[in-house]
Chains A and B, each alone.
Chain A
Amino acid sequence: MNTAPSSPERQALLRFRRNRWAVAGLIFLLLATVLSVFVPWMLAIDPNQGSDSPFTAPDGRHWMGTDIHGRDLFSRVMIGTRISLMVGAVGAGVSLIIGVGWGLVAGWRGGRTDAWMMRSVDVLYALPTVVWVMLTLTLFETRCVGWLSERWPSSIPAFRLAAMMVSLGSVSWLTMARVVRAQVLSLRERPFILAAQSIGVPPVRLMLRHLLPNLVGVILVYLTLTVPAVVLYESFLSFLGLGIRPPQASLGSLIADGASQLNPVRVRWWLLVFPAGLMALLLAALNGVGEGLRSALEPREGDGD
């Protein structure tokens, strides 16, 4: 055999491309992102504009019907998708930064530092996350908002959104930290690292230039697991009344509102079916991409077509 071996990255990409679900998922995600950004802007329908036709079923004018204020559900769902994706991405991003940083340092330093850092992770594991999130969100609302509203009053909703994303990210990094640490521990003994150390490469540079690239696979996989978890968590918070604030909407808050339509008296199905359906598709797509990434980066018997 004399074919030149292609690089591992190239091979991974090829494997990914062959996985139908993963590709479909990726396309859907890109489509959803693009549409949710551009469609409301193009159609120029204000998602917060009430009208005099509340609770109308889907028709030519309102493709997904209207809610109690007569607001067009389609544009709200588009905005909601945008915000949900943003919350998921940034939340996962925050957990990425904290988790990878934590795991890197703990795994690299080892010994005492490692022990303390991982014990803290254990402590945080033991603290029920819901309590933590409620605490931080309420503290932000009461302590920070007052201070912020004096300086930038019109950006308060943006700050709230940011606080929510940071808060969600801050409870999702634990598993990432553990996984990264385990990986670093095993990588640390590899010849190429030892060699770099012996020629005097400073630790920070080592971590960033040599360790990090090897962690990308694991990180990517956990990222695609974290994003759906964050999105669902936000949905749960909306259900409790702590999530995205009105008049902003996320898919999660739209679903939490729509859940009341599951009653035997009067079902306005469009208020639940559209947001929940879209969220289900998004999560399924995220999962598909995650699966695809995992099997692309760590091939197994029986994978591929």
Chain B
Amino acid sequence: MGPWGAVRALGLALIAGAWFFAGCSQAERADLVLHNGPEPETIDPQILTGQADGRIASALFEGLTRFNPTNGKAMPGLASHWDISADGLTYTFYLRPDARWSTGEPMEADEVVWSWRRAVTPATAADYASQFFCVRNGRPIVNGEIRDTSRLGAEALDAHTVRVHLENPTPYFLELAASRVFFPIPRRAVEHLGDQWIRAEPLPCSGPYRLLGWRVNDRFRLARNPHYWDAAQVTAERIDILSGDNPSTALNLFLKGEVDLISDRKIIPGELGPELAQRPDFHRFDYLGQDFIRFNTTRKPFHDARVRRAVAMSLDRPRITARITRMGERPSAAVTPAGAGGYQPPPGVPWDPVSARRLLAEAGYPEGRGFPVVEYTFNVGSRIYEQTGVEIQAMLREHLGIRVELRPLEWKTYLAEMSALNYDFIRGSWVGDYDDPMTFLDCFLSDSGNNRTGWKEVRYDRLLQAAAAEVNPQRRLGILREAETLLVTEAVPVTGLYSHVGLYAADPRKIGGIWPNRMDEHPFFSMRRIRP
């Protein structure tokens, strides 16, 4: 075996490789190729939690309502119309008579109700079952207090009518009905395959597309679903949805024309965001999300609200958005983004280093003397978090004279430490589940698992309860604003940094039927390729 033998070996290896590939059928390029971000954990609409997961599910399934692609508001889906009672507690949905699964069976109201009952059953392990708390008995069933799921406030009046009874007037219920956990699922497939019904072949789908193939970490192959009630509007025959988690690669594919749409900002290189946003094929929009900082109120030094306020007042938020994130985010000390459901958040703590120093002195640390070294914890997902940390370090040293160490953690450790309240102050964010401030504010209820600050305040809980029961929308928003003021100006267990800005990539000359909206919903039924 000499050097020429090696060359022969090389040749053989390459030929073997080529033969292997020849075996792979070189399929034609699909009508639309999307890059969806990382491989979804699951596409089962009842148990999924990730955004990438939800996108695939929304291509294959639909709810009673669906999202309007221009503004993210609810519009008729599998239900053609509905009635709402005067007190806002009873909704009657009228299912389309031609609603059917892609395998041909018709869909009826009892299947819808059955699906919902399955979603709230604790054994299904649906993390988003909490979306059903607004439905009568939803909360006790999910908590396991009521075992009989038929007591859920939803019933099939006849083959095509679903009546829902709510606990409270919920102005965003129609949007909830469009969310994934509310999608009806094919009963027959579940009875056959149980938890893994999503692997059924063929998979019965109710949405604009059906599933042809699924290759992990590669792509989903979708084909147009002719049984979809609105199939006439769907023009793309084949869609490929790619999975990958390297943003540079996604960008390269897009620039080379092999990918038509990048739907997730996570898969666009963060450092190039500002430059890319200038291009006509990249679209920036205000997104329903907020970045903030949590303080650990259970231990020194942040158990003292004065210290928390002092730190919050010394954070130069515009500097962070101008230098680090640079996407035109709106700096904000509140936890809800402006405009969510027509709501204007309170301003939160003001930018006031002088008062901050005074507060710090009052708390016993004049000019930062005696202040313990604290750690700012963040996850290593994006360089932006690290860079923000460096800026915060500098700001607090300059304005308050306190020393901050940076503590980067990988994702799961970060989550574990945050839940265990094993941190001083920590980076956090929240993306809204529906277009209303409540989704942000109820994270900080005393008993909410999403609180993670150790802060418990009965006044806050009572305010949110009152808001939930309030019928008048304006008064309701007023109560919410009062609650948020308590949260971000007075007690400050959490202080906002900035509101999220989303970014997606699609060449408007090639792709139509997509519009930027706050919910970042780009329904598949309206997406189309523009033929020249």
Q: Please give the residue numbers on chain A whose beta carbons come within 8 Å of chain B beta carbons, in ascending order.
A: 48, 50, 54, 68-69, 138, 141-142, 146, 149, 153-154, 156-157, 241-242, 245-247, 257, 260, 262-266
Considering only residues 261-312 of chain B, those with a C-beta below 8 Å from chain A are: 269, 271-272, 275-276
Count of inter-chain pairs, beta carbons less than 8 A: 65
Q: 18 A-B Cβ contacts within 8 A? A: A48-B390, A50-B394, A68-B323, A69-B323, A138-B410, A142-B416, A157-B405, A241-B381, A245-B406, A246-B389, A246-B390, A246-B406, A247-B393, A260-B271, A262-B248, A263-B269, A264-B251, A265-B276
- Whether the Cβ atoms of B408 and A241 lie closer than 8 Å is yes
Cα of A61 to Cα of B381 in the assembled complex, Å: 33
User: Inside 8 A of A241's CB, which chain B residues have their CB?
Assistant: 380-381, 408, 410
- Quick one: which of B272, B373, B389, B410 contacts A153, CB cutoff 8 A? B373
Cα of A50 to Cα of B387 in the assembled complex, Å: 11
Additional A-B contacts beyond A257-B383, A265-B272 (7; CB < 8 A): A50-B394, A68-B387, A154-B373, A260-B248, A260-B269, A260-B383, A264-B252
User: Inside 8 A of A50's CB, which chain B residues have their CB?
Assistant: 390-391, 394
- Quick one: which of A146, A246, A260, A266 contacts B408, CB cutoff 8 A? A246
Interface string of B203-241 (1 = CB under 8 A from A): 000000000000000000000000000000000000000
Cα of A54 to Cα of B416 in the assembled complex, Å: 35
Q: Nearest A residue to B247 by beta-carbon distance? A: A260
Cα of A183 to Cα of B442 in the assembled complex, Å: 68
Q: Nearest A residue to B276 by beta-carbon distance? A: A265
User: Inside 8 A of B167's CB, which chain A residues have their CB?
Assistant: none
- Whether the Cβ atoms of A245 and B251 lie closer than 8 Å is no
Does any Cβ of A come within 8 Å of B422's Cβ? yes
Does any Cβ of A come within 8 Å of B386's Cβ? yes
Task: Output the residue of A146, A157, A247, A263 with the most chain B CB within 10 A.
Answer: A263
Cα of A263 to Cα of B272 in the assembled complex, Å: 9
- Whether the Cβ atoms of A245 and B324 lie closer than 8 Å is no
Q: Nearest B residue to A70 by beta-carbon distance? A: B323
Does any Cβ of A come within 8 Å of B372's Cβ? yes
- Whether the Cβ atoms of A54 and B390 lie closer than 8 Å is no
Cα of A266 to Cα of B390 in the assembled complex, Å: 23
Cα of A153 to Cα of B245 in the assembled complex, Å: 36
- Whether the Cβ atoms of A146 and B422 lie closer than 8 Å is yes
User: Inside 8 A of A154's CB, which chain B residues have their CB?
Assistant: 373, 403
- Whether the Cβ atoms of B390 and A247 lie closer than 8 Å is yes
Cα of A138 to Cα of B380 in the assembled complex, Å: 13
Also in contact, A242 and B272, with CB within 8 A (given A68-B387, A264-B255): no
Does any Cβ of A come within 8 Å of B417's Cβ? yes
Interface string of B380-415 (1 = CB under 8 A from A): 110100110111011000000001011011100100
Also in contact, A69 and B410, with CB within 8 A (given A241-B380, A263-B272): no
Nearest 4 interchain pairs by C-beta: A241-B380, A153-B373, A266-B275, A246-B386
Also in contact, A245 and B275, with CB within 8 A (given A68-B324, A141-B413, A264-B255): no
- Whether the Cβ atoms of A247 and B406 lie closer than 8 Å is yes
Q: Nearest A residue to B403 by beta-carbon distance? A: A154
Cα of A264 to Cα of B250 in the assembled complex, Å: 12
In this complex, how many residues of chain B approach chain A with their Cβ under 8 Å: the count is: 34
Task: Output the residue of B252, B381, B408 with the most chain A CB within 10 A.
Answer: B408
- Whether the Cβ atoms of A156 and B413 lie closer than 8 Å is no
A305 to chain B, nearest CB (A): 27
Cα of A260 to Cα of B246 in the assembled complex, Å: 11
- Quick one: which of B248, B387, B405, B410 contacts A263, CB cutoff 8 A? B248
User: Inside 8 A of B271's CB, which chain A residues have their CB?
Assistant: 68, 260
Interface string of B409-453 (1 = CB under 8 A from A): 110010011000010000000000000000000000000000000
Also in contact, A266 and B323, with CB within 8 A (given A247-B390, A260-B248): no
User: Inside 8 A of A257's CB, which chain B residues have their CB?
Assistant: 383
Cα of A178 to Cα of B160 in the assembled complex, Å: 75
User: Inside 8 A of A265's CB, which chain B residues have their CB?
Assistant: 251, 272, 275-276
- Quick one: which of B389, B405, B406, B413 contacts A138, CB cutoff 8 A? B413
Q: Nearest A residue to B405 by beta-carbon distance? A: A156
- Whether the Cβ atoms of A266 and B272 lie closer than 8 Å is yes
User: Inside 8 A of A260's CB, which chain B residues have their CB?
Assistant: 248, 269, 271-272, 383
- Quick one: which of B248, B275, B389, B413 contacts A142, CB cutoff 8 A? B413
User: Inside 8 A of A263's CB, which chain B residues have their CB?
Assistant: 248, 251, 269, 272
User: Inside 8 A of B409's CB, which chain A residues have their CB?
Assistant: 141
Cα of A190 to Cα of B387 in the assembled complex, Å: 60
User: Inside 8 A of A242's CB, which chain B residues have their CB?
Assistant: 380, 410
A271 to chain B, nearest CB (A): 10
A189 to chain B, nearest CB (A): 33
User: Inside 8 A of B252's CB, which chain A residues have their CB?
Assistant: 264
Cα of A265 to Cα of B255 in the assembled complex, Å: 10
Q: Nearest B residue to A247 by beta-carbon distance? A: B390
Cα of A141 to Cα of B375 in the assembled complex, Å: 13
Cα of A142 to Cα of B408 in the assembled complex, Å: 11
User: Inside 8 A of A262's CB, which chain B residues have their CB?
Assistant: 248
Cα of A205 to Cα of B389 in the assembled complex, Å: 53
User: Inside 8 A of B390's CB, which chain A residues have their CB?
Assistant: 48, 50, 69, 246-247
A18 to chain B, nearest CB (A): 30
Q: Nearest B residue to A266 by beta-carbon distance? A: B275
B319 to chain A, nearest CB (A): 10
- Whether the Cβ atoms of A69 and B387 lie closer than 8 Å is yes
Cα of A265 to Cα of B409 in the assembled complex, Å: 30
User: Inside 8 A of A54's CB, which chain B residues have their CB?
Assistant: 323
A136 to chain B, nearest CB (A): 13
Cα of A16 to Cα of B271 in the assembled complex, Å: 47
Cα of A193 to Cα of B78 in the assembled complex, Å: 89
Cα of A141 to Cα of B372 in the assembled complex, Å: 20
Cα of A69 to Cα of B275 in the assembled complex, Å: 17
B477 to chain A, nearest CB (A): 39
Cα of A246 to Cα of B275 in the assembled complex, Å: 25
Q: Nearest B residue to A145 by beta-carbon distance? A: B407
B269 to chain A, nearest CB (A): 6
Cα of A262 to Cα of B413 in the assembled complex, Å: 30
Cα of A56 to Cα of B155 in the assembled complex, Å: 65
User: Inside 8 A of B380's CB, which chain A residues have their CB?
Assistant: 241-242
Q: Nearest A residue to B408 by beta-carbon distance? A: A245
Cα of A149 to Cα of B372 in the assembled complex, Å: 11
Cα of A247 to Cα of B251 in the assembled complex, Å: 29
A279 to chain B, nearest CB (A): 20
Considering only residues 152-178 of chain B, those with a C-beta below 8 Å from chain A are: none
